[in-house]
Chains A and B, each alone.
Chain A
């Protein structure tokens, strides 16, 4: 199979190895649903040695904060982040799930106080592989699709 050509960006960030279909979540996490001037390139369902199929998101003129990287780690734990300058990758790293997830995930327990009072939801990471989180408030653990569905 010939290598799929995806347009390069002069500078910015390439997020690679996103699970298929999750590119939109990545774009949402980065707040790129609003126009910001820079080019956004998305490739979905691309063949991948590592994942079989993958999504790629390229953002021109934009670099990621640590918090954004942490959020991406939750939905795409295999993702790699490439920093591009002058059309060249100058840095490349794997995302990493932090010990605590603060503010980006809603608790799926409808009776959890965090869904009723003015509270920033908080989760402790109990295990990374497979990903398992425990709500700081109701102490319920959540895994898999429950995490994705509440991001």
Chain B
């Protein structure tokens, strides 16, 4: 696969080989970075970050990655400050910005916006979230974190907890995990179960899938518990939400029966689904996930720029 000039739009465009390749490059960069402090592969290259809706964490992560590669960054972080408000088309914005830069990272409230941007632009485009559709770099950094922690992904039993119905993160993570020999526990309230077509797809691909509402009973089985936020506004009535909210708090007492090696992940931000007392335990991987975002995004930027 020639990575130079390639767009990163959807995890669905990735083969297992692609994923493994990115994870390996990210690992190499993390090592190099540890040794040298900063790198200069992308010296003279400019990243444009086009955040049509604000997402400070994701933007900072990409900017940090580009700076650590020795490149520089231009961009904007909300539609209000751009000509978008004046009614300029996305295509025209992209055609303009690509005159100033070598790679574009786009976050946009509409689904498919990143795909459209990639079709318009001659330079590579990386999707940093398009509406409720895709956020492929999140999935890659999740996989990277698992691999970095366990040394492998195959053979693990992974629980996905919380809003499995609307959660973009867990959908693409589950789809990517289907490339591996994993067992999945889908733990959610009845109302927020993983969409049937995704469960069917996982089973078709040979993943052993269990659907359950019981977090406590499932915990002893797991190597990884991937927690997501349950959004209050999804629930038809408040009482229903409060019931669910209480039952799914991950705290030290619910972790009593867990394997010694169980790790907790979360795409952040969290509200109250993981008690802060868990943060200090060896199990907490969620800040490591944040860190993983940098080498993974460095790998994607460097590869698509053709400088690695």
Contacts and interface: CB of A to CB of B under 8 A. Distances in A.
Indicate whether A and B interact.
yes
Contacts of A135: 112
A113 B90 contact: yes
Contact of A117 (B10, B91, B197): B91
A93 interface: no
Interface residues of A, number: 16
A113 B113 contact: yes
A119 B113 CA distance: 11
A111 interface: yes
Interface stretch (A40-48, A60-68, A136-144): A136-144
A100 to B, nearest CB: 15
B89 A113 contact: no
Interface residues of B, number: 19
B116 A117 contact: yes
B18 interface: no
Contacts of B110: 111-113, 116, 138
Contacts of B113: 113
B115 A137 contact: yes
A109 interface: yes
Nearest to A143: B197
A114 interface: yes
Given A139-B12, A139-B134, A141-B197, A113 B91 contact: no
B116 A113 contact: yes
A114 B115 CA distance: 10
A141 to B, nearest CB: 7
A113 B111 contact: yes
Interface in B81-122: 89-91, 108-113, 115-116
Interface of A: 109, 111-114, 116-119, 135-141
Interface of B: 10, 12, 89-91, 108-113, 115-116, 130-134, 197
20 contacts: A111-B110, A111-B131, A111-B132, A112-B111, A113-B111, A113-B112, A114-B116, A117-B91, A118-B89, A119-B116, A136-B115, A137-B115, A138-B110, A138-B133, A139-B10, A139-B111, A139-B133, A139-B134, A140-B111, A140-B133
